[in-house]
Structure 1
Amino acid sequence: MPHLDNENQIFNNLYDQYKHLGLPLHLIKHTDFTVFNLRDVNQPSPFKSPLSRLNFFVFAFIKSGDGDYTIDEQNYKLQPGAVYFTNPGHFRSFNWEHIDDVYLFTLSESFLKENVHANIFDEFPFLLAETFPARVLAPEIFAEFETLYHQIRKEYDSESPYRYRIIGNLFVVVLLKFKEYIWKDYNPIYEGNRSSEIVKSFKRLLEKHYRDLAGGLAEQVFRVQDYADAQSLHPNYLSNVIKVKTGKTISTWIAEKTIAEAKALLQNSQASIKEIAFRLGFNEATHFSNYFKKHTDMSPVLFRKEHAGIA
């Protein structure tokens, strides 16, 4: 593959990344959620991907395959029986020496909130971890995950009108298994530096604040100054750390969180557009509608209509 400028390699979903790399697009049926066997990409070995910022979650289950991946300059080995996940905002690259049976999931935050769990990061805080090294599981434990991801793949390929709701419930089980078998003894040895702690604290406060907004426990959207004050930092310093570590400005994080929460409320609640606007800190429903349409190319009313009955 040709060398590409890292600064230009920012992808919000797997479809955009694969299109950019000239990889098969028929495997991707939904930009917010994908699942398939990497061998179906049909690329000659070794199969390498250039360094890119990926703004979506990735889960991988390696039954048979070998290689390594790099995330924010940390390199991890990929081998049979290993599982791993990464979250949005990091530089990532992959080097597969051999791919025989490797299942890959990609998920947006919106998909997780709309179909898996409304308070996803409260229930599964490990999803906010800065790094999560690949872990090799005992065969009997890996087999439990294998049963689940094959069932999810079956639903993904189906035409059932309930497939995303079914997938969401199955993925809850996947995440609970992560908590049961992997997270309980996880030692975040790569998360000790100050910048990582700042990013983690920012993400946690961002999530909590929007949960409070949605629940009526807060009325005003936090500004950069508020997030900086929470960590006793200068706002310019906080902004710089977040931009360098995640590739996104704080304003982008806030905008994406606002839209993710808005989508979840539109799909999973009976609240009016005006009430949702107020919950998310907008003084006027019109302002909220314009904001939502600017970021999604769809009005809140149309989004709710098109997603009625899916969750």
Structure 2
Amino acid sequence: MTVKTERSVSEFNSELKLKGFNAFQIERDGNAMKTYSRKDFYKICLTTGESRIHYADRSFEHEGTVLFFGNPHIPYSWETVSRTYVGYTCLFSEDFLNQSERTESILQSPLFKLGGTPILSINEEQREFLNGIFRKMIEEQQTDYSFKADLIRNYIHLIIHEALKMQPLENSDQHRNAASRLTSVFLELLERQFPIESSDSPLRLRTPQDYANDLSVHVNYLNRAVKDVTGKSTSTHIAERILSEAKALLQHTNWNISEIAYSLGFDYPTYFNNFFKKLTNTTPKAMRMQKV
């Protein structure tokens, strides 16, 4: 059997961009903090060993087997404590899972929400059952079966539904300052929207309500937390970051004004012009001319 270890981020990304899915076995991990920073992929991880997991505003310490669900919009990191650490991981994009009508409700389940239950303690019987599913996914992704993507999606759904029937891990430490942690998560999520890489893919999150929905909190709670911690409103943070990206696109790309406006989430160039002029006292066209 080939021993799988931690591989480079670029190597993972190339595979994920091609297929939108990857599953592999973990045989050996060192004592190092791991942060999964890709903004496009969900993660399900079944691991046995002693570990410390930091997820949004909570930290979990556990020895034994855990099932972990990672949301690309919520920052998390994983610290391996024990020398022996084994298990399985699968990574998948929302587009990969989007072929199923059940996808939206599944990705909105407590397993993937900010205040949900992303980590579950697994007993030996459950571990053997889940090990079998992960092995099937790993084997299936190597076959030439015409409908293997559908089959793998069914395996992902099966893991998720099995997890929804389990009890979450309870030994978590809540961050003392919930407003501070929520603000940190919001700011990281805001930054993950950038840089804009294509004029054909508009900004996904544009308003405080968009961010609140993504973080599964009420928009008023998000606004109050961000204002209390930073002194600026949620809208101001969003506008300032969009403006910064707009300046970069104007100065470093050959996209026309309409393309830039669309990529930043504006329905019409006029809206973008008004937004830009209000914050800079100049127009996008005039700003671009300054680099010539």
Per the shorter chain, which TM-score range? 0.5 to 0.7
The Cα of 1:194 is off from its aligned counterpart by 4.0
Give secondary structure in 2 for the equivalent of 1:106. Answer: strand
- Residues 281 and 112 (structure 1), Cα distance of their counterparts in 2 relative to 1, 3 Å cut: farther
Distance 1:78 1:122, change over 3 A: closer
Write the letter of the residue equivalent to 1:238: T
By how many angstroms is 1:195 displaced? 6.1
Give the conservation status (yes or no) of the 8 Å contact 1:116–1:168: no
Mapped to 2, the partners of 1:67 and 1:227 lie a distance apart of 33
Confirm whether residue 82 of structure 1 aligns to residue 70 of structure 2: no
Give the Cα separation in 2 of the matches to 1:125 and 1:226. 19
Partner AA of 2:141 in structure 1? Y
Residue 8 (structure 2) aligned to one of 12, 19, 26: 19
Counterpart of 2:49 in 1: which secondary structure? strand
Q: CA shift at 1:157, angstroms? A: 2.2
User: What residue is the counterpart of 1:262 in the other structure?
Assistant: none
More helix by share: 1
In structure 2, relative to structure 1, the CA distance for the partners of 1:188 and 1:113 (3 Å cut) is: farther
Alignment of 1:172-187 (within 5 A): 172-182=157-167
1:105 to 1:175, Cα distance in 2 relative to 1, 3 A: same
Question: What are the equivalent positions in structure 2 for 1:277-292 lying under 5 Å apart?
Answer: none
Q: Give the Å deviation of 1:57.
A: 2.1
Q: Return the letter of the residue paired with 1:86.
A: G
Aligned equivalents of 2:205, 2:12: Cα separation in 1: 41
2: distance between equivalents of 1:57 and 1:20? Answer: 15
Query: 1:57 maps to which residue?
Result: 42
Q: What code does the residue aligned with 2:16 have?
A: H
The yes-or-no answer on 1:231 pairing with 2:223 is no
Residue of structure 2 in register with 1:95 after alignment: 80
Match of 1:148 in 2: 133
Deviation string for 1:113-164 (max 9, x for gaps)?
2358342447634312346464322222222222222222221222222111
Query: 8 Å contact 2:110–2:118 — kept in the other structure?
Result: no
Answering whether residue 95 of structure 2 is matched by residue 110 of structure 1, we say yes
SS at match of 1:97: coil
Equivalent position SS for 1:119: helix
The SS at the match of 1:80 is strand
Distance 1:153 1:83 in 2: 17
* Whole-angstrom distance in 1 between the partners of 2:101 and 2:94: 10
Unpaired runs of 5+ residues, structure 2, are 1-5, 190-203, 213-217, 246-264, 269-292
> Are residues 116 and 194 of structure 1, via their aligned partners in 2, closer, same or farther at CA, if it must alter by over 3 Å?
farther
Asked whether the equivalents of residues 130 and 196 of structure 1 are also in contact (C-alpha less than 8 Å), the reply is: no
Question: 2:22 is aligned with what amino acid?
Answer: T
Between 65-74 and 234-243, report the one with greater CA deviation. 234-243
Residues 1-311 of structure 1: matches in 2 within 5 Å? Answer: 18-20=7-9, 25=11, 29-31=15-17, 32-39=20-27, 46-51=30-35, 53-55=37-39, 56-62=41-47, 64-72=48-56, 74-89=58-73, 90-95=75-80, 97-99=82-84, 101-115=86-100, 117-121=102-106, 124-130=109-115, 132=117, 134-182=119-167, 190=174, 193-194=178-179, 224=207, 231-232=219-220, 233=223, 237-239=233-235
Change (3 A) 1:29 1:189: same
Which digits, 9 at most, give the CA deviation of each residue in 1:252-306, with x for residues without a partner?
9xxxxxxxxxxxxxxxxxxxxxxxxxxx9979xxxxxxxxxxxxxxxxxxxxxxx
Shift of 1:29: 4.0
Larger Rg: 2
- Structure 2 distance, partners of 1:120, 1:114, is 13
On the 8 A contact 1:54/1:91 being kept in 2, the answer is no
SS at match of 1:178: helix
Q: Say what the alpha-carbon RMSD is for the aligned residues.
A: 4.6
User: Structure 2 vs 1, CA of residues 193 and 176 (structure 1 numbering), >3 Å: closer, same or farther?
Assistant: same
| 8 Å Cα contact 2:137/2:155 also seen in 1 | yes
* Cα distance in structure 2, aligned partners of 1:222 and 1:28: 25
1:264 counterpart residue number: none
Q: What is the CA–CA distance in structure 1 between the aligned matches of 2:101 and 2:86, rounded to whole Å? A: 25
Query: What is the aligned-residue identity percentage?
Result: 12
2:155 maps to amino acid: L
